[in-house]
């Protein structure tokens, strides 16, 4: 590493130990001098235009690849991300990659975070949704009062099967 000392607060990135280090604030530093690249330089993250996460391109002689910064953070400081564990942002902000804002958790817990933070595509945020939330709440109220699915469907202009799905907790469960 050309006698370069990794500054305090930075840890080598797994798979790129000789080339890059990452801090607990999500800053990525080049630790190996290469042609056209300075040693000790903090790299700039980019925003993925569709997914909204911060990404960074890491390059060595053998490989060059883009990574999500929050996943690099988790793999370096929290443990390996796999199919059973995902990186969750505690405050719901995808671009906040500080270690204190990240945790490893199940996909189910990650989805519940999205509901809590209001970033889920449930209900009116879903592009295929046809019904406003207040209508579903009225249907649920009618079901509590003992109305049949057919009567409710006629009253509100929805299908009886949709009302039964609401009743059987197959749709709109979170309301």
The model carries a pTM of 0.71
What is the per-residue pLDDT for 173?
Answer: 75
Residue 175 domain-assigned?
Answer: no
Residue 137: give the domain boundaries.
126-167
What is the per-residue pLDDT for 32?
Answer: 83
Q: How far, in Å, CA of 122 to CA of 126, rounded?
A: 5
Instruction: Summarize pLDDT for 128-145 with one digit per residue, the tens.
Output: 677 888 888 899 888 989
Residue whose tokens read 């799905």: 165
What is the per-residue pLDDT for 125?
Answer: 67
Q: How far, in Å, CA of 103 to CA of 87, rounded?
A: 6
pLDDT exceeds cutoff 50 at 1 = no
Residue 130 domain-assigned?
Answer: yes
As for how many domains the chain has, the answer is 1
Instruction: Summarize pLDDT for 11-61 with one digit per residue, the tens.
Output: 999 888 888 999 999 999 998 877 777 888 899 999 998 999 999 999 877
Residue 38 domain-assigned?
Answer: no
3-state secondary structure of 168: coil
Instruction: Summarize pLDDT for 61-113 with one digit per residue, the tens.
Output: 777 899 999 999 999 999 888 888 999 999 999 999 999 999 999 988 988 88
Residue 24 domain-assigned?
Answer: no
Residue 138 domain-assigned?
Answer: yes
The share of the chain scoring above pLDDT 70, in percent, equals 94
Looking at residue 80, the DSSP 8-state letter turns out to be -
Residue 32 domain-assigned?
Answer: no
Residue 65 domain-assigned?
Answer: no
3-state secondary structure of 55: strand
Residue 83 domain-assigned?
Answer: no
């Amino acid at each position: 590493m050309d006698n370069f000392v990794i500054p305090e607060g930075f840890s080598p990135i797994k798979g790129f130990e000789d080339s890059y280090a990452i801090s607990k604030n999500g800053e990525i530093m080049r630790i190996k001098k290469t042609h056209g690249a300075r040693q000790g330089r903090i790299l700039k993250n980019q925003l993925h235009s569709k997914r909204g996460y911060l990404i960074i391109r890491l390059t060595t002689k053998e490989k060059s690849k883009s990574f999500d910064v929050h996943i690099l953070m988790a793999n370096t400081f929290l443990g390996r991300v796999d199919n059973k564990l995902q990186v969750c942002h505690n405050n719901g902000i995808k671009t906040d990659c500080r270690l204190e804002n990240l945790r490893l958790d199940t996909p189910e817990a990650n989805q519940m975070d999205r509901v809590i933070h209001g970033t889920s595509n449930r209900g009116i945020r879903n592009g295929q949704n046809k019904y406003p939330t207040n209508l579903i709440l009225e249907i649920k109220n009618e079901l509590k009062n003992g109305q049949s699915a057919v009567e409710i469907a006629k009253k509100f202009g929805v299908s009886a099967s949709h009302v039964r799905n609401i009743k059987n907790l197959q749709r709109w469960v979170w309301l």
